[in-house]
């Protein structure tokens, strides 16, 4: 989908000045991870005319209590396309790697290097490599391992290497070891919360079937589509940590920060280009 061009009003470094349009790729392990961690910010970026792509590294063919394999992968793929449409992003790609079995192999690393290069990404988002789910953990490792290699021409040589280093960011998580998440930039998403909730609602096999089943809460899920959409909205409310609140106040000012209920936060990865906090404030939408 071609979005209309909107020029940023802030001064951006030369590499981002591709007609004022950022190219952003969010990478997740499963066909709903990017939506959960980045859906609100993605909707804001897309609305402002930036090119946003989601990439799921696995096809989601394992996480379900009643179905699996190709039938489930196909269903999950269709859900990603609907979610991407609701968010207004340019593309949602799903790689055909098995769910629950992801390992940080050279082959998958090459897939990620190629995807970042093809998107000509300015910003890459991924999970931190500390996580309860091995697929999330190895997605974090794979993206870290790709961070330098995207610039090395002889690696995955069939796709030209980038001549710039993208900024790599981590999604927020609650894991404390070996180090807790640090919110370098916080985006208040109250104004797009409906859009995000509507995108999550597209993942029927995840939010209304698999996740409640694995949590032993399947009986709580309303049958009526409108009621279950309200239900998903309530499930996804998270209290803001004091670190998130402090960053929110710095970025938005005290009064606006007090009103914020829904946020998405991101931490700068030490690999890739090290943007300053002031620059991150400009790159991420408000």
Query: Residue 252, Cβ neighbours under 10 Å: how many?
Result: 18
Residue 172 or 247 with smaller CB distance to Zn ion:
172
Closer residue to Zn ion (CB): 161 or 213 = 213
Written as six digits, the tokens of 224 are 């009526």
By CB under 5 A, is residue 33 in contact with Zn ion?
A: yes
**CB closer to Zn ion out of 33 and 201:** 33
25-33, 45-53, 169-177, 278-286 -> range binding Zn ion (CB under 5 A): 25-33
Q: Which of residues 256-275 bind Zn ion (CB under 5 A)?
A: none
Closer CB to Zn ion, 84 or 285, in the complex? 84
Alpha helices (H) in 55-133, listed in sequence order = 69-87, 106-119
CB of 136 to Zn ion, least distance (A): 6
With residues binned 3-state (H G I as helix, E B as strand, rest as coil), the percentages for the chain, rounded to 5, are: 45, 15, 40
Among 30, 76, 86, 251, binds Zn ion (CB under 5 A): 30
Between 29 and 195, whose beta carbon lies closer to Zn ion?
29
Find the shortest distance in angstroms from Cβ 202 to Zn ion.
Answer: 16
| Cβ nearer to Zn ion, comparing 36 with 156 | 36
Paired tokens of 242: 């004091």
Question: Which residue lies nearest Zn ion, judged by its C-beta?
Answer: 30
105: left (phi over 0), alpha (psi -120 to 50) or beta: beta
Q: Per-residue b/e over 109-142, b at no fewer than 16 CB within 10 Å? A: bbbbbbbbbebebbbbbbbbbbbeeebbbbbbbb
99 binds Zn ion (CB under 5 A): no
How many angstroms separate the CA atoms of 259 and 70, rounded?
Answer: 45
> What is the β-pairing status of strands 123-126 and 23-28?
parallel
Backbone angles phi, psi at 223, to 5 degrees: -80, -35
Options 33-41, 172-180, 212-220, 231-239: segment touching Zn ion (CB under 5 A)? 33-41
Site size for Zn ion, by CB under 5 A?
3
* Least separation in angstroms between CB 12 and Zn ion: 32
Asked whether position 137 contacts Zn ion by CB under 5 A, the answer is: no
Q: Which residues contact Zn ion (rule: CB under 5 A)? A: 29-30, 33
């Amino acid at each position: 989908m071609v979005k209309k061009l909107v020029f940023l009003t802030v001064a951006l470094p030369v590499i981002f000045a591709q007609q004022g349009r950022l190219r952003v790729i969010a990478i997740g392990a499963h066909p709903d991870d990017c939506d959960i961690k980045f859906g609100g910010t993605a909707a804001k970026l897309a609305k402002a005319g930036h090119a946003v792509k989601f990439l799921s590294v696995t096809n989601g063919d394992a996480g379900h209590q009643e179905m699996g394999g190709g039938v489930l992968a196909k269903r999950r793929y269709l859900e990603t396309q609907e979610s991407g449409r609701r968010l207004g992003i340019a593309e949602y790609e799903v790689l055909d790697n098995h769910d629950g079995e992801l390992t940080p192999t050279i082959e998958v690393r090459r897939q990620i290097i190629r995807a970042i290069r093809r998107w000509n990404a300015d910003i890459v988002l991924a999970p931190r490599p500390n996580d309860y789910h091995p697929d999330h953990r190895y997605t974090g490792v794979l993206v870290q391992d790709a961070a330098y290699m995207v610039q090395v021409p002889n690696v995955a040589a069939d796709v030209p290497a980038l001549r710039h280093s993208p900024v790599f960011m981590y999604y927020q998580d609650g894991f404390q070891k070996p180090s807790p998440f640090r919110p370098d930039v916080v985006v208040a998403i109250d104004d797009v919360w409906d859009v995000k909730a509507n995108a999550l609602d597209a993942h029927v096999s995840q939010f209304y079937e698999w996740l409640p089943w694995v949590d032993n809460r399947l009986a709580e899920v309303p049958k009526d589509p409108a009621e279950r959409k309200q239900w998903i909205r309530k499930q996804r409310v998270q209290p803001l940590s004091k670190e998130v609140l402090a960053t929110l106040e710095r970025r938005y000012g005290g009064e606006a920060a007090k009103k914020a209920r829904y946020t998405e936060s991101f931490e700068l990865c030490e690999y890739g280009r090290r943007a300053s906090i002031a620059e991150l404030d400009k790159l991420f939408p408000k």
